[in-house]
Structure 1
């Protein structure tokens, strides 16, 4: 059996520490974020809305991977890394009962993924160098897809036509379109605008969440056809200041929940209603899940160095969103396209609206 890659060897060490800390012999990885992370970004889905078609039992003596028999050939030929013992079940069999497909599991205390969910998030939080490079390229590609689509669009383009262009762009760069949102001028009050047949009109927002190699890039961009409305420009500048408050507060070791008071205070500090933060989620750590997890009261996670984040503060008619990485020198934006106009906010280039 081939040795695992250096990255997966480090991931295995991290999972074994979770086992030691919780006094169990093994953990069954079965969620999309956990399985794809552990298998070096393998595509272990068929339906984007369905569960993975693989699970991994990680124990102290090795890794056991199980797939339905009808999926095994593709996964082995195209997706799976080396260093795994493989097992198969019938297409109608269960991946979640390891004792049925590997007898050795019967002698082990096996933890469910749910039992150690927070420690597993911590295990994948700090991106390894290869992961960070792959993530940055994905984020740049996603930003370029938005630039291309919004440079192509016109006021008469419908939201669905724009969504089709965005989806095609993501697929062309090898990414899976997990989220594609578009709102024209008549629907800008909606925070999650699923596309309709309505035209974009004088101003529009587009959002993509694209997954490649298991990692997910999250990006929002705005386009307007004509000069800026002063009130809209002011709101866009102020929402960037809300984001800047959160970016300035990020530091390794900080309890993630400590950022919630920062978010709450940022809205009224920059001229928005004090309850605005309650009207939409504010983002959180990113990577192998869109938010891993969302910032919310009581989250137990810590902030890690080399961890990715996507914050998405919003108010009626304005929103800002990029995927960033917290490194030893601070925050660096990953979802960058040099063709996109920027505004300088506290020493960082942040996306402005594209004027057409």
Structure 2
């Protein structure tokens, strides 16, 4: 099956132009007010007057999409002190001008330390009496505060997820057996960056490397079958998607495994309902592998996903994770088996589960009412 490229897309692997996302910008005042109230409720419950946010996940969530990084591999370039009087962003003097001009939401006070200093140097004077509550001390409470997505961030997330899915279609529909894994990864990166996002994870494996579940790209050609994975971040939110392409009809074993892994995922979606715990869903994941012929130990060979949003997984689900599923929460489950994997970012609403990483051009089948991706056959 050939997937037509958009009429505006250039040939080959050049990045396609993207539209301006004017209707889904960060810094929604109503969303920010709700987030502040959630943090104040944590302070009330803990008997503290201030909290210091220091991670990318917490900062981008609370500031509603502001970019707090320079290096994708580095620590945040700011810390945020939230107290009962307001919000105080501490950053280095060489970052302050740009943050104030381009990233800082209204009402947040900006404070500087020298570029060679420490962000925590300014905390004591700002916090007043009493030690600020450390982010690590309320990790579970902050996760719970992030889980129900608000209207503004839900709109931004849906746009990002659709862009990531379109990038996959644009790139993989142009691939050939001779295309290398690095060529796929670089073409995906170009499209993600052109969409105003950051490619946090880019994986690709051709037929010679299909045994690897986290395949960093190499110069190997795709061969007869390939997998690509993208985790793209924009305004702090991370979209996760996996797609497969093949250049023949597939073997009976591959077709059977693809159908069975989709059945495993369907069981996971059925278990992901408001009020369920992540640990309970994880137990269903373990049972689903055995139920669909993958073996009871398959879950031990790769993480299974979990809630998504301001982190790739927030958190990864395990048998010991007690977080409770709530409406408007987003998830990326990624069951996998030998030579197969399925992964999309979805949102759970009162109306049910909605697939966010969806491109109508990509071939799909209906599984329990949801469009689930098939392998693109070229």
Bucket of the pairwise TM-score, normalised by the shorter protein: over 0.9
Mapped to 2, the partners of 1:70 and 1:239 lie a distance apart of: 49
Mapped to 2, the partners of 1:196 and 1:26 lie a distance apart of: 48
Partner of 1:175: 197
Secondary structure at the residue paired with 2:128? helix
- C-alpha displacement of 1:296: 1.3
Secondary structure at the residue paired with 2:95? helix
Mapped to 2, the partners of 1:168 and 1:42 lie a distance apart of: 22
Partner of 2:219: 197
Q: 240, 251, 255: which is aligned to 1:233?
A: 255
CA contact (8 A) 1:145 1:166 kept: yes
CA contact (8 A) 1:160 1:195 kept: yes
Mapped to 2, the partners of 1:234 and 1:242 lie a distance apart of: 13
Partner of 1:187: 209
Partner of 2:3: none
Deviations 1:157-188 (CA, angstroms, capped at 9, x unpaired): 11011110011110111110000000000111
Partner of 1:114: 136
Segments ≥4 residues shifted beyond 2 Å: 96-100
Q: Assess, with a 3 A threshold, how the Cα gap between structure 1 residues 184 and 4 changes in structure 2: closer, same or farther.
A: closer
- C-alpha displacement of 1:345: 1.1
Residue correspondences, number: 352
Q: 90, 97, 103: which is aligned to 1:73?
A: 97
- C-alpha displacement of 1:98: 4.3
Partner of 2:273: 251
TM-score by length of 2: 0.91
Partner of 1:132: 154
Map 1:308-323; keep pairs closer than 5 Å. Answer: 308-323=330-345
CA contact (8 A) 2:49 2:132 kept: yes
TM-score by length of 1: 0.97
Q: Would you say 1:281 and 2:303 are equivalent positions? A: yes
CA RMSD across the alignment? 1.2
Mapped to 1, the partners of 2:242 and 2:308 lie a distance apart of: 15
CA contact (8 A) 2:28 2:64 kept: no
Deviations 1:94-131 (CA, angstroms, capped at 9, x unpaired): 1134434xx24131331111000110011111100111
- C-alpha displacement of 1:275: 0.1
Q: Assess, with a 3 A threshold, how the Cα gap between structure 1 residues 62 and 108 changes in structure 2: closer, same or farther.
A: farther
Map 1:294-333; keep pairs closer than 5 Å. Answer: 294-333=316-355
- C-alpha displacement of 1:350: 0.2
Mapped to 2, the partners of 1:234 and 1:40 lie a distance apart of: 43
Mapped to 2, the partners of 1:14 and 1:109 lie a distance apart of: 20
Secondary structure at the residue paired with 2:120? coil
Mapped to 1, the partners of 2:154 and 2:256 lie a distance apart of: 34
Residue ranges of structure 2 left out of the alignment (5+ in a row)? 1-26
